[in-house]
Chains A and B, each alone.
Chain A
Amino acid sequence: MKNARYVARSAAIASRALGEETMVMSAASSTLFTLDEIATLLWQSADGVTPLDEIVRDKICARFDISPDVALRDAEDFVEQLAAHGILLISDQPIASPVLASGEPR
């Protein structure tokens, strides 16, 4: 069985919901990304303390008709890609207070 993986939004990004999508910009490279509805769910749930497989099970598979194995594999690819651009952090330990707010105002 694989170790749990934790994901957290980087502080060095700008982001905003736009309809069902999310715009994310990396501060380091000024590169703009858009996340679709499923990716947005994953992004919003990347709190550094909920394991990735739990996010996939509770947030994605509960809402979309997608098999847990496929969803987890896709989610792992996706978080690797975002981590490569520095907009998401991945760790096999919970990530303590890693991030700024999720983009939602107080």
Chain B
Amino acid sequence: MSALAAEMAARALQLGIPLSAQLDLTYRCNERCVHCYLDHRDHGEMATAEILDLLDQMAAAGVFYLTLSGGEILMRKDFFEILEHARALTFCIKLKTNGVLIRAPQAGRIRALGVESVQISIYSHRPETHDAITKMPGSLRQSIRAARLLRERGVRVIFASVLMRQNARDYSGVKALAAELGAQFILDPTITPMMDGDRSILELNVDEEALREVFRNEGLVGNAEEFCAPPQGPDADALDCLPCSAGHTACYVSPYGDVYPCVQFPLPSGNVRCTKFAEIWRHSPQLNDVRSITLRDMPSCSLCAHGGTCTRCPGLAYLEGNMRGPSSQDCEKSFARTGIASENLLAKKAAPQLRPPSQLIQIQSLPQAVNSE
């Protein structure tokens, strides 16, 4: 983040403005990725008019960075109507797509509408691996075609890869492919549990050794020595820090109108089909609860040596059962990075799990959460 963007984020925090929002237009998808956390059936997506109205409300509330994602955004027949409306409201727009449905006309329209960037999921540079992950033969070829069409028109493209057992050694190949096409590359080492709390897909996570290798790759992390330095423990400033932007300057809205602090933090906080977006943003008890948390209030993390440097995700912690608790996936990352295990990780390793992890949490739904008209 540039210094100016950080300054604007600090200002938004002070003013209580949701500077960034992700809106998932659909959970339907033409791919069936093995690691995907979504239920792809349509349980009553917002209609076009509802989405256009929501965009008006989001602009009025101060949302500037808008990510349109899914599911596959181009599965919606009204996708360009939505995009046009969003650009008329002058959002800074990032699209997340698999690119399969992007041909020359779509690429041209995306370019003409002044989208800031298009993020395309690429899991491997090898078709056999990528297509096995998406379970769609020919998908790598089609995603690369989309990237080329967009780049030829001057659109900024980002290749996003999720690290998993199937592609554990392929990120360098994807990065090289991105460079060849003039695209950027980001690697996400986190597999997100299913939104209903099922954690079985976490079995796809790479092992410790592969994670360690990623964290020592200077092409990905910059200065590896600094990145992997032993933790110093949180100082007083870190203890008063906010965990992340979720619920503070950012939020997520599902295709059914449910508002959550973040796409990776499925705490139901309201539904725009029955309450105005700004009202939810300002007064939702759930969002206010999230806002009240600092590192100081987290019993394990505030005492953990990694407390000041850990990438702890409150959403993943919530998915584990306690948003004020540690996130085991981040404990594992902190360990792979520094070689020092957190108390939580040691305790987990010592105590065998009595129940399957998928039963450890229950995602409660607001009454209006799934509302088919």
B15 on the A face (CB < 8 A): yes
Question: Which stretch of B82-90, B234-242, B254-262 is in the interface?
Answer: B82-90
Question: Which stretch of B59-67, B211-219, B289-297 is in the interface?
Answer: B59-67
Residue of chain A at shortest CB distance from B56: A105
**A12, B2: Cβ atoms closer than 8 Å:** no
Question: Which stretch of B5-13, B298-306, B328-336 is in the interface?
Answer: B5-13
**A103, B116: Cβ atoms closer than 8 Å:** no
Q: How far is the CB of B323 from chain A (nearest CB, A)?
A: 28
Residue of chain A at shortest CB distance from B5: A32
Also in contact, A103 and B89, with CB within 8 A (given A18-B8, A32-B2): yes
Q: How far is the CB of B110 from chain A (nearest CB, A)?
A: 11
**A18, B114: Cβ atoms closer than 8 Å:** no
Candidate in B63, B87, B90, B115 with the most chain A CB atoms within 10 angstroms: B90
Digitize A73-106: 1 where CB-to-B-CB distance is under 8 Å, 0 elsewhere.
Answer: 0000000000000000000000000001111111
Chain B neighbourhood of A103, CB < 8 A: 59, 89-90
B156 on the A face (CB < 8 A): yes
B interface residues, tally (CB under 8 Å): 31
The answer for the CA separation of A103 and B2 in the assembled complex, in Å, is 23
Chain A neighbourhood of B15, CB < 8 A: 18-19
**B89, A18: Cβ atoms closer than 8 Å:** no
The answer for the CA separation of A20 and B47 in the assembled complex, in Å, is 34
Chain B neighbourhood of A27, CB < 8 A: 114-116
Chain A neighbourhood of B92, CB < 8 A: 14, 16, 25
Q: Which residue in A19, A21, A101 is a CB contact (below 8 Å) of B90?
A: A101
**B17, A105: Cβ atoms closer than 8 Å:** no
Q: How far is the CB of B111 from chain A (nearest CB, A)?
A: 10
Q: Which residue in A19, A28, A30 is a CB contact (below 8 Å) of B11?
A: A19
Also in contact, A18 and B90, with CB within 8 A (given A23-B8, A30-B117): no
A15 on the B face (CB < 8 A): yes
A13 on the B face (CB < 8 A): yes
B30 on the A face (CB < 8 A): no
Per the 8 Å Cβ criterion, residues 95-145 of B in contact with A are: 114-117
The answer for the CA separation of A101 and B99 in the assembled complex, in Å, is 29
Residue of chain A at shortest CB distance from B11: A18
Chain B neighbourhood of A62, CB < 8 A: none
**A34, B88: Cβ atoms closer than 8 Å:** no
**B89, A101: Cβ atoms closer than 8 Å:** yes
The answer for the CA separation of A105 and B276 in the assembled complex, in Å, is 15
A66 on the B face (CB < 8 A): no
B57 on the A face (CB < 8 A): yes
B4 on the A face (CB < 8 A): yes
**A17, B116: Cβ atoms closer than 8 Å:** no
**B4, A16: Cβ atoms closer than 8 Å:** no
Residue of chain B at shortest CB distance from A12: B114
**B60, A11: Cβ atoms closer than 8 Å:** no
Q: How far is the CB of B330 from chain A (nearest CB, A)?
A: 29
B93 on the A face (CB < 8 A): yes
The answer for the CA separation of A25 and B66 in the assembled complex, in Å, is 13
B318 on the A face (CB < 8 A): no
Q: How far is the CB of A104 from chain B (nearest CB, A)?
A: 7
Q: How far is the CB of B298 from chain A (nearest CB, A)?
A: 30
**A16, B5: Cβ atoms closer than 8 Å:** no
**A32, B8: Cβ atoms closer than 8 Å:** yes
Q: Which residue in B56, B63, B117 is a CB contact (below 8 Å) of A106?
A: B56
Q: Which residue in B55, B59, B62 is a CB contact (below 8 Å) of A18?
A: B62
Chain A neighbourhood of B64, CB < 8 A: 14-16, 18, 23
- Interchain Cβ contacts under 8 Å between A and B, 21 examples: A13-B114, A18-B8, A18-B11, A18-B12, A18-B15, A18-B19, A18-B62, A18-B64, A21-B11, A23-B8, A27-B115, A30-B116, A30-B117, A32-B5, A32-B8, A34-B7, A100-B87, A101-B89, A103-B89, A104-B59, A106-B56
Residues of A within 8 A of B (CB): 11-19, 21, 23, 25, 27-28, 30, 32-34, 100-106
With A15-B90, A101-B89 given, name 19 new contacts (CB 8 A): A14-B91, A14-B116, A16-B59, A16-B62, A16-B63, A16-B90, A19-B11, A21-B11, A23-B64, A25-B92, A27-B116, A30-B117, A30-B156, A32-B8, A34-B7, A100-B87, A103-B90, A105-B57, A105-B60
Ranked nearest first, the 5 interchain pairs of A and B with the lowest CB-CB distance are A14-B92, A27-B114, A16-B64, A105-B56, A103-B90
